[in-house]
Amino acid sequence: MNVEVYTLNAFAKGERGGNPAGVVLEDGLSLDAAQMQLIAKELGFSETAFMEKSLLADYKIRYFTPASEVDLCGHATIAAFGLLHSLGFSKEGTSYSIETKAGILDVEISSGGLVYLSQALPQFLDKLSCEEIAPSLRLDAGELQTGLPIQIVSTGLRDIMIPIRSRKLLNEIQPDFEAITAISEKYAVVGYHLFTMDTPDDAAAECRNFAPLYDIPEESATGTSNGALLSYLYQHGQRSLREVENVVFRQGYSMDCPSEIKAGLRLSESGEINQVRVGGAVAGIERRLILI
C-alpha cells in the first residue's frame, strides 16, 4: 500500500530553518500503530503526525518518533494545521479541538495564517542538582550555577529546563548523549531543554533541545518545551505580567536551522496561568509516497 505523506518545516523563520515533520492525512486509511511506526521510521524526522477522525474533538492526532509513539508534539501539530491551511481545509481566524494522548487541546489559525497550539497547564516538578546534570553536558557543576533552578516542567510532556549563562557557552556544549539518555530514563522525561536569556535580539531566550532517549539527538524547534519554558520563566520571576502574552524563542541556530517559536500565557486576575500556547509558521511543503 502506498501512503501519501506530506513533509514540511514548522516554526520556520522565513523560508529557512524550522523543524521538519511528517504529516499523514489518513482519510479512511485506518492505519494501525505498527504501520504508523514504520512510516515514521522511514521518514526519519523527529516526529510524524497522523490525523484521524475523532468522536471527542474535531480531529485526533497520534505522534510517532522514529522509535516510539509519544503523547504530544508541538511542532508536528503546527505542521499538520499549517498543511490543512495551505490546502484550503482550514480557515484563518478559526479554532479547532484535537484529541491527543495528552488530552483535548485547542488549535487556532490566526488571521495571519500562523498556527497556535494550546498546551496543558504547567506542572512544576523535581529540581535537580548541577552536580548530577553537568557531566552529561561535559561541563563543570559551577558552570551551571545561574541562580535559576534546573527543573522538570511539563505542559503535556516532561522536560528538564536547564539555564545556561551565555549564548557562547550554550552553542559550545557537546552533549554526552548516553548520559542524557540515562538521566532521561531515570526521571521519565523526554529530554533536556537548555536555554539562555543572553540573546542578540528581542527574543526571550535561545534554546537547544536534546532527546536522545527518543532517537532525537538535537531538535531545531520544540513547541511543547518552549511552552514549558515560558511557564518556568514566569514562575521564577523572569517575566512580568505584561511580558508573557507575546514572546519569541530562538532555536536551531547551532544546527544552522534557524527557528522562531512564538509563545504566550494567559493569566487570571490573580496572576495564575490559565492558558499556555505556542505558535509559528510553516514552510517547504512537499508530497511523497511511502510503500508499506
Distances in Å between the Cα of 196 and the Cα atoms of 35, 161, 210, 218 are: 39, 11, 15, 16
First to last CA, the chain: 6
Note whether 272 and 266 are within 8 A (CB). no
DSSP symbol at 202: S
Compute the Cα dihedral for 195, 203, 256, 16 and give only its sign.
positive
Q: Which amino acid is at 16?
A: R
Of 4, 15, 47, 243, which is the active-site residue? 47
The residue assigned the cell 495528552 is 102
Which of left, alpha, beta for 130 (phi over 0: left; psi -120 to 50: alpha)? Answer: alpha
Query: Is 47 one of the annotated active-site residues of the chain?
Result: yes
**Catalytic center residues:** 47
